[in-house]
Amino acid sequence: MLHLNPETPCIIVPLFAHTLEALTAQARAAQAAPEADVVELRLDPLRQGDWLSGLALVRQTVRKPLIVTIRTSQEGGEVPLDDDTYQEAGLALLAQGGVDALDIQWRTDARVVRTLRDAAKRAGAAALFSEHHFDGTPDRHAMTEALHGMLDAGADIAKLAVMPHNRADAAALLLATAEVHDARPEAVLITMSMGRDGAATRYCGGPFGSAATFGTLSAASAPGQPPAAKLRAKGLTEADLG
């Protein structure tokens, strides 16, 4: 079961492998790493025919909460999928079982988002809605509206990742997170600003309302992900603010 709280933000470690052999090694490392609270299985680097096998082998190895993600090329991932194929793949993964949270791309067709949301809930998995901007940082209002929109549409977890052009963009992401958290303190948010200018947001997201951050054991799945052990040593939480 996946429980996230910004008072004690968890560290999510991505599994990002292009072969099942490499995926097996990464899964074993994640299971053994004390700093890995949650594991994310990124399936898009694998051949599509290996997705169900990849989920099965990771679930056999990893006994920690598991987020399962197919990141399409439209959102910075490694596989081009049309909406129907994306939906079919998500439904097949949920039907196989072992998914604690399914990442659902928020900017996918609304029909697909609703279908995967409802299927996730029937399967006992959290519906994690996500939106990624690798080309820049939307203005603060657009970011707060995106997070509110995901939550209003039934997301159990709302995730927003943006690329800053400067440190002011990273600060805007934190401010947007805080505004939504203050308005909806019960909501579960995961937010981050990527790259070098956004690195600080991966350490201090908790006090602004982000309930998790991403750290690596080996391969990074997005720009700017620091080592998980470094996040554990230096991460700031709401509790640290008294």
Catalytically active residues are 132, 159
The C-alpha angle 16, 236, 29, rounded to 5 degrees, equals: 30
H-type alpha helices, 124-196:
140-152, 167-183
Judging by DSSP bridges, how do beta strands 101-105 and 126-133 pair with one another? Answer: parallel
Burial group, residue 51, by CB count within 10 angstroms (0-12, 13-18, 19+): buried
Report yes or no: 163 and 191 within 8 Å, Cβ to Cβ: no
| Category of 94 on φ-ψ map: left (φ > 0), alpha (ψ -120 to 50) or beta | alpha
The C-alpha angle 183, 75, 211, rounded to 5 degrees, equals: 35
Distance between CA atoms of 194 and 196, rounded to whole angstroms? Answer: 7
Q: Which amino acid is at 65?
A: P
